């Protein structure tokens, strides 16, 4: 999709500078002025190194302090909060401790009649120099071009966040999605992510429009602030990132369903928020009054949203599927290095492919991650599994802490902050109300259909955990050209600081205040009677419950499960029932080609690995535990192998699903991913 904010050449292009034709300047002529230019370039290179070193030092300090905190079990401050604090400190030093201006790069004006060219040749006393277009500068700000050199050096192109730092974070989120609990709560997660984000965006947008109107009345507003800007702010700030909360949940082994709801919501909600903000930016009504409501433009925006979202989803899913097929049909798993490299390249190519097609790379990468975890992961060798997990874990860790320390830095080094107290207070109230208006009504509606009700304490916790993080920051910094966007950026920064420090720090007290169970072994189900869990308890007899369950789990989901289990899994991985049994007989040849011989042998083994994909470094990742669990906790990973009953049984997925559903009191065997449904046993 065409994003007006993506005007500047993004970072990818910066890596692709043209070497051809422009090297003449590098001749080792001995003219004094060239040596001067050389010295300048060298000096600039040195400053770049120093500024990158600054960030590395920041990260190193953060790592060491995190270790100290973990070592002493300090929980009130998460690593991201810490990274921000160090960033702040360095920001203050850079702002007030370095000389204010260098004045070396004096701008030169020269008049030209046409529209600007991207390349400019300038004749300087007979020599030709090439210049490239950087951007327009509003006449009032020409003097701003001369600014503190060091501050400029530590200021990154916003596209760095979108093209370099976010993809590994988002991919990791998708790749480490705890499948079982995610699918168990899929409906609610989708509702929170799509409906919730939209509701939150519109409520915040409208409230902020009221605030802006008020500011105009009071005379606090010095430039334009349109309704679309307010909506954009709503979209930006609706991207929640409860990384701190989840880290603490993880450490304390808090309730797994709550975890799944929060994690799933925040992962998908990032994707929704990006696409939503793109759609709002794409809302450009035609005609004179460019900021009034226009139905055509509105529907175009909705179309853009749907188009980008589904397109990005498809891109991600397709590359994931291709990777799964490649890893299935080659014996690449004998060479883990090759396999890991291929996995990395394919995942990265999703991003590029989506960007090349005009979709959103970050969203594509998310769905690619989910697909890779669901299918490709099963085909990888054991070594590659840990390699890919660890690789993306490290990348995710570095990128995330980098963004947070950059946020701290940006509070002081960003040169165009506009802090408006009214707007900031309004924004805090708006996000509070927006979150409330999104969590409580939606939870009420969901509870009507949910068997596993979302309890009040869970709802309060979800309300409380609506932290803002990396994604909101990246969306806000993407376009800081206008007055309104600058104000939005400054406010977003403050909101992120507040939520990460105050809300993040209050998670542990909040958990105990809300009486939410901690220390839950994820392999075990909630104990039969528990205060916060009473709503979850079923009460009918076993068979009745099972029937109800089957009605509850929507036909769409059942259809998907059956399709995935019978066709996708067997085609894309070495698990699932042999295709020869699930496909109609006239597809015999294809079925035999696509079914790998391992299917017959490896079913049991793969079932286990497959049925619960997780990253098992419980310490820093947002996941926990690494054992296969069934809903009623009766079967561990190695006990569920009672019926190794040959190749023919359970060819119909209905049957497999039934067995899963009926797994309340006996051990189960299922093929492929076991989507275990919540069944409590009162007995």
Hey, which residues between 44 and 103 contact its own copies (CB under 8 A)? 44-46, 48-53, 56-57, 59-60, 63-64, 66-67, 70-71
Kindly state whether residue 160 participates in binding its own copies, applying the rule CB under 8 A. Answer: yes
Query: What sign results for the dihedral spanned by CA atoms 623, 626, 631, 633?
Result: negative
User: Per CB under 8 A, which of residues 163..182 are in contact with its own copies?
Assistant: 164
d(CA 375, CA 183): 15
Q: Contact 368/377 with Cβ under 8 angstroms?
A: no
Kindly tell me which of 20 and 421 has the beta carbon lying closer to its own copies. 20
User: Per CB under 8 A, which of residues 11..40 are in contact with its own copies?
Assistant: 11-28, 30, 33, 35-40
d(CA 299, CA 257): 36
Q: Contact 363/3 with Cβ under 8 angstroms?
A: no
d(CA 486, CA 143): 18
Beta bridge partner(s), residue 468: 240
Kindly tell me which of 49 and 543 has the beta carbon lying closer to its own copies. 49
Other residues' Cβ atoms within 10 Å of the Cβ of residue 291 = 13
Interface residue with its own copies among 98, 101, 310, 390 (CB under 8 A) is: 390
Kindly tell me which of 234 and 577 has the beta carbon lying closer to its own copies. 234
Minimum distance between the CB of residue 35 and its own copies, rounded to whole angstroms? 8
Site string for its own copies, 343-372 (x = CB under 8 A): -xxx-xx--xx-xx-x--------------
Minimum distance between the CB of residue 174 and its own copies, rounded to whole angstroms? 19
Minimum distance between the CB of residue 57 and its own copies, rounded to whole angstroms? 7
Interface residue with its own copies among 145, 306, 382, 554 (CB under 8 A) is: 145
d(CA 567, CA 321): 13
User: Per CB under 8 A, which of residues 657..676 are in contact with its own copies?
Assistant: none
Interface residue with its own copies among 222, 284, 543, 639 (CB under 8 A) is: 284
DSSP alpha helix (H) spans, 253-294: 256-282
CB burial of residue 184 (10 Å; 0-12, 13-18, 19+): buried
Minimum distance between the CB of residue 621 and its own copies, rounded to whole angstroms? 8
| DSSP class per residue in 507-546 | HHHHHHHTT---S--TTSPPPSS-GGGGGG---S-HHHHH
Kindly state whether residue 120 participates in binding its own copies, applying the rule CB under 8 A. Answer: yes
Q: How far is CA 159 from the centre of its chain?
A: 16
User: Per CB under 8 A, which of residues 473..492 are in contact with its own copies?
Assistant: 477, 479-482
d(CA 504, CA 237): 17
Kindly tell me which of 327 and 465 has the beta carbon lying closer to its own copies. 327
- Residue 21: CB partners within 8 Å, gap ≥ 6? none
- Residue 388 parent element (H or E): helix 382-413
Distances (CA, A) of 229 to 102, 199, 224, 521, 553: 35, 16, 10, 46, 40
Give the binding-site size for its own copies (rule: CB under 8 A). Answer: 151
**Segments of 7-96 assigned E as strands:** none
Minimum distance between the CB of residue 507 and its own copies, rounded to whole angstroms? 20
Kindly state whether residue 619 participates in binding its own copies, applying the rule CB under 8 A. Answer: yes
Taking the chain, what is the end-to-end CA distance rounded to the nearest angstrom?
56
Interface residue with its own copies among 367, 397, 423, 458 (CB under 8 A) is: 397
d(CA 576, CA 572): 10
Kindly state whether residue 292 participates in binding its own copies, applying the rule CB under 8 A. Answer: no
Q: Which stretch binds its own copies (CB under 8 A): 393-401, 572-580, 586-594, 647-655?
A: 393-401
Interface residue with its own copies among 87, 168, 336, 538 (CB under 8 A) is: 336
Minimum distance between the CB of residue 610 and its own copies, rounded to whole angstroms? 23
Phi-psi category of residue 672: left, alpha or beta, with phi > 0 → left and psi -120 to 50 → alpha: left
Interface residue with its own copies among 147, 381, 537, 581 (CB under 8 A) is: 147
Interface residue with its own copies among 102, 152, 608, 633 (CB under 8 A) is: 152
Minimum distance between the CB of residue 572 and its own copies, rounded to whole angstroms? 17
Nearest to 258 by CA among 457, 442, 527, 468: 457
Interface residue with its own copies among 394, 425, 502, 559 (CB under 8 A) is: 394
Minimum distance between the CB of residue 199 and its own copies, rounded to whole angstroms? 25
Interface residue with its own copies among 97, 107, 584, 597 (CB under 8 A) is: 107
Interface residue with its own copies among 73, 96, 97, 125 (CB under 8 A) is: 125
Minimum distance between the CB of residue 24 and its own copies, rounded to whole angstroms? 4
Interface residue with its own copies among 97, 99, 135, 597 (CB under 8 A) is: 135
Minimum distance between the CB of residue 467 and its own copies, rounded to whole angstroms? 21
Other residues' Cβ atoms within 10 Å of the Cβ of residue 643 = 13
d(CA 580, CA 570): 10
Interface residue with its own copies among 74, 100, 101, 131 (CB under 8 A) is: 131
Kindly state whether residue 531 participates in binding its own copies, applying the rule CB under 8 A. Answer: no
Nearest to 494 by CA among 511, 472, 509: 472
- Residue 236: CB partners within 8 Å, gap ≥ 6? 273, 277, 472, 475, 476, 488, 492
Kindly state whether residue 214 participates in binding its own copies, applying the rule CB under 8 A. Answer: no
Q: How far is CA 631 from the centre of its chain?
A: 28
Kindly tell me which of 81 and 158 has the beta carbon lying closer to its own copies. 158
User: Per CB under 8 A, which of residues 409..428 are in contact with its own copies?
Assistant: 414-416
Minimum distance between the CB of residue 173 and its own copies, rounded to whole angstroms? 16
Kindly tell me which of 264 and 285 has the beta carbon lying closer to its own copies. 285
Nearest to 462 by CA among 278, 189, 183: 189
Q: Which stretch binds its own copies (CB under 8 A): 331-339, 534-542, 628-636, 673-681?
A: 331-339
């Amino acid at each position: 999709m065409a994003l007006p904010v993506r005007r500047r050449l993004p970072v990818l292009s910066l890596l692709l500078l043209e070497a051809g034709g422009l090297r003449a300047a590098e001749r080792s002529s001995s003219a004094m002025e060239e040596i001067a230019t050389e010295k300048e370039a060298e000096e600039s290179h040195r400053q770049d190194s120093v500024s990158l070193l600054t960030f590395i030092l920041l990260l190193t300090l953060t790592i060491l302090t995190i270790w100290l905190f973990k070592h002493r079990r300090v929980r009130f401050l998460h690593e991201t909060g810490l990274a921000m604090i160090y960033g702040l400190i360095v920001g203050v030093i850079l702002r007030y401790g370095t000389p204010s201006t260098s004045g070396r790069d004096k701008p030169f004006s020269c008049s030209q009649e046409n529209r600007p060219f991207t390349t400019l040749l300038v004749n300087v006393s007979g020599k030709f120099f090439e210049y490239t277009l950087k951007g327009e500068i509003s006449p009032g700000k020409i003097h701003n071009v001369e600014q503190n050199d060091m501050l400029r050096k530590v200021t990154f192109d916003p596209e760095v966040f979108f093209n370099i730092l976010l993809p590994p974070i988002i991919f990791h989120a998708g790749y480490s999605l705890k499948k079982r609990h995610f699918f168990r709560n899929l409906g609610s997660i989708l509702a929170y992510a799509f409906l919730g984000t939209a509701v939150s965006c519109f409520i915040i947008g409208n409230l902020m429009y009221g605030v802006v109107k008020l500011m105009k009345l009071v005379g606090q507003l010095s430039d334009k602030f349109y309704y679309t800007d307010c909506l954009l702010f709503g979209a930006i700030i609706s991207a929640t990132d409860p990384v701190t909360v989840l880290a603490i949940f993880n450490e304390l082994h808090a309730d797994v369903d709550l975890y799944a709801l929060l994690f799933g919501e925040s992962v998908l909600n990032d994707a929704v928020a990006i696409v939503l903000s793109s759609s709002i930016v794409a809302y450009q009504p035609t005609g004179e009054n460019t900021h009034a409501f226009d139905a055509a433009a509105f529907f175009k925006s909705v179309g853009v949203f749907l188009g980008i979202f589904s397109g990005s989803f498809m891109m991600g899913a397709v590359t994931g599927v291709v990777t799964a097929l490649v890893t299935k049909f080659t014996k690449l798993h004998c060479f883990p290095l090759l396999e890991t490299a291929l996995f990395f390249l394919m995942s990265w190519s999703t991003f590029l492919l989506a960007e090349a097609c005009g979709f959103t790379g970050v969203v594509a990468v998310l769905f690619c991650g989910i697909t890779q975890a669901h299918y490709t992961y099963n085909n990888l060798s054991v070594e590659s599994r840990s390699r890919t997990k660890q690789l993306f874990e490290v990348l995710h860790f570095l990128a995330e802490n980098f963004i947070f320390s950059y946020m701290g830095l940006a509070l002081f080094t960003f040169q165009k902050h506009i802090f408006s107290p009214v707007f900031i207070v309004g924004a805090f109230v708006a996000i509070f109300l927006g979150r409330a208006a999104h969590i409580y009504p939606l939870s009420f509606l969901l509870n009507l259909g949910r068997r596993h009700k979302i309890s009040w304490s869970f709802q309060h916790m979800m309300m409380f955990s609506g932290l803002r993080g990396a994604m909101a920051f990246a969306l806000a910094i993407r376009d800081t050209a206008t007055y309104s966007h600058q104000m939005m950026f400054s406010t977003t920064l403050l909101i992120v600081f507040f939520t990460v420090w105050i809300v993040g720090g209050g998670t542990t007290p909040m958990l105990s205040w809300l009486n939410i169970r901690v220390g839950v072994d994820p392999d075990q189900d909630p104990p039969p009677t528990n205060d916060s869990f009473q709503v979850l308890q079923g009460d009918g007899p076993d068979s009745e419950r099972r029937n109800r369950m089957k009605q509850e789990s929507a036909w769409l989901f059942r259809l998907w499960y059956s399709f995935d289990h019978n066709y996708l899994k067997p085609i894309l991985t070495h698990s699932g029932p042999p295709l020869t049994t699930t496909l109609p007989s006239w597809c015999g040849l294809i079925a035999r080609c696509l079914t790998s011989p391992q299917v017959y042998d490896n079913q049991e083994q793969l079932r286990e690995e497959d049925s619960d994909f997780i990253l098992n470094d419980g310490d820093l990742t947002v996941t926990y535990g690494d054992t296969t669990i069934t809903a009623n906790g009766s079967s561990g990973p190695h006990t569920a192998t009672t019926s190794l009953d040959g190749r023919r049984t359970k060819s119909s997925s209905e049957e497999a699903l039934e067995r899963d559903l009926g797994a309340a009191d006996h051990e189960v065997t299922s093929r492929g991913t076991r989507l275990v449904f919540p069944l409590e046993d009162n007995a």
